[in-house]
Chain A
């Protein structure tokens, strides 16, 4: 009887030891390599933006910061960039869809590391940070202004600061108070009545507004997280100390992230994004206008007079390779949206391009189930993760926000 008990307890001990072994933070060399590639210390220095000669001019960044927070930069004086890109909220607004002068159809994107993006907005409809910054200024649902009014506003309010950076302002005395090729019918009519030289003058001031705001935004970079401290310790074979130590659940989540759950396929590199566009079967939002993602953005970026091929680019066209070699058509672009960075994601619900999911649990459940796309073909395949595995993935994602 006693011997039987001894045999039983020995086998129980053996089983426990076996189970305990699974929770150890031991990774294969391939896993270690992948984990190291995600750590923030592998983020290269920010490259120069040759299309914006003011990108690293401190006075331009200072003016850009003023403009970023200035509600005067809108039709009714109530909306600035910072209305949706809130400085104390990772430069986003916690809303499913951004609200400026009106309600838009897309989620506000956070700005950490934004200057490293090759494409801007969820669908990549702009190809530079400065061209991006101009777009909400004239969107009737965001800042709802028009470029003639912005040129006058800059001259009246920031003329001296502007001229110290960009040189003399043009003579705007004949330029209508409100005019834009994208505005209301009256604004369009006023724009069309202007001579080409005035179009160029106004567009030049407008482009420089974008370049100043972009110079400011270049300073917004991702911060080190618990994951990065863990990854550095792992890479240097030192035992993670304090909050750099991961729980068994977080380790399981990390292992799934870079393994079975395939998250790292798209969420790769130190920013956890491949900077590309994918259809992952995210459902559309009822009551919002039809949204086909990247496929409709191609024509928009090509038509943008402020794109890299346009006359407002500084430097030479060798900087325009992303635009030059852009995929212009095909099924892959239908309902394809940009892979967002996952840094800080756990602290900024809701998720997806129109705030479709309110929690990370819902996001992970979506990828585990992999429902087909309403249009086009989803690239994700069902994972059938267990409750424990889904919870572990969420636990790991939280380490990117701590």
Chain B
């Protein structure tokens, strides 16, 4: 390469023109790079929108409206915590006497929950204490509730991102 450049310079007798050539080549290469990057960016899968992290939602078949909040307001990673699951009918009446199952895990890590949370107390007004929740790591967690009450059985999934 250098030899070639030297040859060109000595042949032409003037270095200026050949330097312009190099600059031109450099610009060409830069343009090519920008083009490649553009293609990579445009064809790369767009980062999926994060999971729906709303704390209140309709259950899968629309039987209930469920809300899920940490009992003490904050999520503390690595500590056993209780949360409150509040169940209302579509008409807004509190759901009493529900049988609740809890499961879940981390979809991106392919493992379940590190604890077995349970519905431990009914606090009135459709509010159930879900105790024994522990988020041992940051990331996307899912908690799935199976709910059976007078109105029927339904389920709901809450996403929690730490």
- Taken together as a complex, chains A and B put the C-alpha atoms of A311 and B118 apart, in Å, by 24
Are B19 and A7 in contact, CB atoms less than 8 angstroms apart? yes
Q: A321-B131, A325-B131 are in contact. Are A4 and B22 (CB under 8 A)?
A: yes
Are B111 and A379 in contact, CB atoms less than 8 angstroms apart? yes
Q: Is B54 an interface residue (CB 8 A)?
A: no
0/1 string, A360-391, CB within 8 A of B gives 1: 00000000000000000101000000000000
Give the shortest distance, in Å, between B155 (CB) and chain A (any CB).
Answer: 19
Tell which of B15, B112, B134, B136 touches A3, judged by Cβ atoms closer than 8 Å: B15
Give chain B residues whose Cβ lies under 8 Å from the Cβ of A325.
80, 115-118, 131-132, 134
Q: A266-B137, A274-B136, A377-B110 are in contact. Are A326 and B116 (CB under 8 A)?
A: yes
Give chain A residues whose Cβ lies under 8 Å from the Cβ of B113.
327
Give chain A residues whose Cβ lies under 8 Å from the Cβ of B134.
325
0/1 string, A268-305, CB within 8 A of B gives 1: 11000011111000000000000000000000000000
Give the shortest distance, in Å, between A317 (CB) and chain B (any CB).
Answer: 12
> What is the interface size of chain A, counting residues whose CB is below 8 A from a CB of the partner?
25
> What is the interface size of chain B, counting residues whose CB is below 8 A from a CB of the partner?
28
Give chain A residues whose Cβ lies under 8 Å from the Cβ of B136.
266, 268, 274-276
Are B112 and A332 in contact, CB atoms less than 8 angstroms apart? yes
Tell which of A4, A268, A328, A377 touches B137, judged by Cβ atoms closer than 8 Å: A268
Give chain A residues whose Cβ lies under 8 Å from the Cβ of B112.
327, 330, 332
Give chain B residues whose Cβ lies under 8 Å from the Cβ of A326.
115-116
- Taken together as a complex, chains A and B put the C-alpha atoms of A3 and B23 apart, in Å, by 12
Give chain B residues whose Cβ lies under 8 Å from the Cβ of A322.
80, 115
Tell which of A1, A2, A327 touches B116, judged by Cβ atoms closer than 8 Å: A327
Are A265 and B80 in contact, CB atoms less than 8 angstroms apart? no
Give A residues with C-beta under 8 Å from B. Answer: 1-4, 7, 265-266, 268-269, 274-278, 321-322, 324-328, 330, 332, 377, 379
Question: Of residues 83 to 123 in B, which have CB atoms within 8 Å of A's CB atoms?
Answer: 109-118
Give chain A residues whose Cβ lies under 8 Å from the Cβ of B131.
321, 325
Q: A274-B136, A322-B80 are in contact. List 9 more A-B contacts (CB 8 A).
A: A4-B15, A4-B18, A4-B19, A265-B137, A274-B78, A276-B136, A321-B132, A324-B132, A327-B112
Q: Which of A277, A278, A321, A328 has the most CB of B within 10 A?
A: A321
Q: Is B34 an interface residue (CB 8 A)?
A: no
Give chain A residues whose Cβ lies under 8 Å from the Cβ of B138.
265, 268
Give chain B residues whose Cβ lies under 8 Å from the Cβ of A266.
136-137
Give the shortest distance, in Å, between B136 (CB) and chain A (any CB).
Answer: 4
0/1 string, B6-30, CB within 8 A of A gives 1: 1001000001101100100000000
Give the shortest distance, in Å, between B83 (CB) and chain A (any CB).
Answer: 13
Q: Is B51 an interface residue (CB 8 A)?
A: no
Q: Is B32 an interface residue (CB 8 A)?
A: no
Give chain B residues whose Cβ lies under 8 Å from the Cβ of A278.
111
Are B19 and A3 in contact, CB atoms less than 8 angstroms apart? yes
Q: Is B35 an interface residue (CB 8 A)?
A: no
Are B139 and A265 in contact, CB atoms less than 8 angstroms apart? yes
